[in-house]
Every structure is written in structure tokens, then in C-alpha cells.
Structure 1
Amino acid sequence: MTDNVRSDRTPELEADLPSLMKKVAEGDQEAFTGVFQAVSDPVFGMVSRVLRDRAMSEEVAQEVLVEVWRTAPRYDPGRGSVFAWVLTMAHRRAVDRVRSEQAASSREARVALLDRETEFDQVVEEVEARFEREAVRSCLRGLSELQRQSVTLAYYRGLTYREVAERLAQPLGTIKSRLRDGLMKLRDCLGVTA
């Protein structure tokens, strides 16, 4: 904060802020004007120190002041002064913005790297996927009828075990056993190691 901002914080003003906040919590716009005048410069100063970008600091400071208006009923004078509450809110919002900007920058960097990677051969991918599908179909043919139906309904149609049991008119325990046995046979057939 600059020295002139600190000099604006008089003991009288700080003493009056809790009563103003109480009125703001009740929707008093005039009281909010008083709170705004008292805290806007310190909020901007706090946010500016964290963000180091004037335009972004102005935007975040405005967001904080809107949040003060919206959340005024949550202010608890027993937990600290109005200044402490508002400046904590400002600091958190500024840090969130920094993190958000860093995350966006990281995403953009990852996308740029992906754009530079060599294109995969789509024909090879399609052929491999076709072979995999055929291998699964072949292994499914090696299951018992109840195992095949159970696995198909649960894993290809997305039904729950209970829904599979209802659809096949079998006890739930039987379906669970057939699914477990069928999946183990599939794993062995496909050569998947546990």
C-alpha cells in the first residue's frame, strides 16, 4: 500500500466500518459507498502487489468489491476487522488469478507442444483397433452363454450388475460369479497380465 492510502485509514473510519458493514449486509447502498471509499485503495494496492499488472489488478479489485457487497452478511466482527476481512479476500482473489493465469499458460504451452508432435498414422491406428476388436470378439466366443451375455450387458451396454441380473432373470450372486469368471477367461485369452 502506498503511504497516502495508509493515511486515509483513520481510527474513526476503522471504528465506523463494522456498523457500515452491518448496513451493507442489509442492502444499504449508501453504507456500501462508505465501505467502498474506505477499502478500495487498500484493496487495489494489495491486488497490485500480487498481480503486477494494472489492468488485471483493476479487474480483480472490482471483483473483490463486488464480492464484499454480495457477501457482507457473512462478515463476522468477532473474527477480525473489516479491513482484515476485505484484504484477505483481495489477497485470495489475486492469488487465485495468478494461479489461473499460470494454469492457462501451461495449457497453452502443452497445446503448442502437441501441435508440434508428428501426426500418428491413422491407418495404423485403425488397423490395430480392428485387430483388438476381433481378438475380443474371438475371446467372447470362448465364454459360456451366461458369461458372454453378462459381460456384454455390463461392459458394452453399461448396465449395473443388478440390471444384468434382472434382464437375464438370474440371481445377483450368479451374475457376479459369471462376470468374474468371464472376465478372468477374457484376461487369459487376451494375454493380459494382472
Structure 2
Amino acid sequence: MGTERDKVETMRLPWLRSVEPLAPPTHEDLIRLVALGDEAAFEELYDAVAPRVFGLVRKVVRDPDQSQEVTQEVFVDIWAQASRFDADRGKAMSWILVIAHRKAVDKVRASQASSNRDLREGIKEYQESYDDVADTVESQLEAERVNKALDSLTQVQQEAIRLAYYGGYTHQEVAELLKIPVGTVKTRIRDGMIRLRDRLGVA
């Protein structure tokens, strides 16, 4: 025969079972709070995504100290731009990674040697159509000309080319970051290469 306490516990159990634990906030939830100036939410978001952001930046910048600096700059931008995030256009993590890529690319533009090498290698992939482009770029172009030529492209072409050849991402990864089909990525890169050829005066 159960005690009075057992009866009370038995009566409470069904009610206890019906209580669902609160789900942790998503990245989207945290960014919405950050947009309202919630510093605690910003700290939680930082703890959640900083390792992945640093890993992406390190892949582009390579130098660990500079990568740390860029990572901090990325979070400054997230704090300042949180109100611009639109969950209807994609996930918060993708939005954050695009910011990280842009910051990392800005950092390496100050020292273009490695970036230009990657771009030349990318142009070589199109040798079946433009056999002389890579040789011409290799022998004649300086960093300033490459930058000027890139600046002449449309924003979407620049973004696709920089992610693919400066960031080292595959076409599939670029498509996932930009939330566009792989075919669109390839088209933007191809069209950008054609404009680079024309801009650089390659016959």
C-alpha cells in the first residue's frame, strides 16, 4: 500500500511528462536579438560560430595572427549589420560565412602575389577556349592590372571568381554559400573570365 507521498508523486508525473524543455535559440534567433542590441545574445552567437568563422578565414588568409584579426572584424560587422539579415533569403550561418569571405578577401588584397597565382591557375582551367590567356597573364600582368580588371566585372562575377579562386572553394561550395544553382556559379565565372580576357587585351 503506497504512502501519501507516493500518491502525490503519481498525480504529478503526468503533468511533469507534458512539460517540453525549451529549445535552444537558433542562429537566426540570436541574430534577431543582436539586431536589438542584445549583448548576451551576441556573446552566445560568437561562442557558437567563431570556430567555424576562424577556420574559413584561415583557409583564405592563411596567417594565423591575421586570421584572428579578420575574425574579430567579421563579428564587428555582424554586430553592426545584424538588422540587415533576412531569414527568408537564407540561413544565418551562410550569411555569416559570406561576410567572413568578403573580409578575408579584403585582407589578402593588400598582398596580391598568392591571390594572383590562384587566379592565374583558375584562368588556366579555361585554356581549351583561351589557350593564350594564362601565358599572357603569367608573363605580362602585374597585381595592379589584375585588380583593375577584376573591378571591371559585375559584383556577382567578382564574388563568384573571388570565392572560387581566392578562397579556394569548389563550384558546389560557392553555390551553397551564395544560395544559387551550380550552373549559375559556372556561368558567372565563365562570363567573368571572358570579360577579364577582353579587359586585359588578350587576343
User: Given the two structures, how large is their TM-score scaled by the length of structure 2?
Assistant: 0.43
The structure richer in helix per residue is: 1
User: Given the two structures, how large is their TM-score scaled by the length of structure 1?
Assistant: 0.45
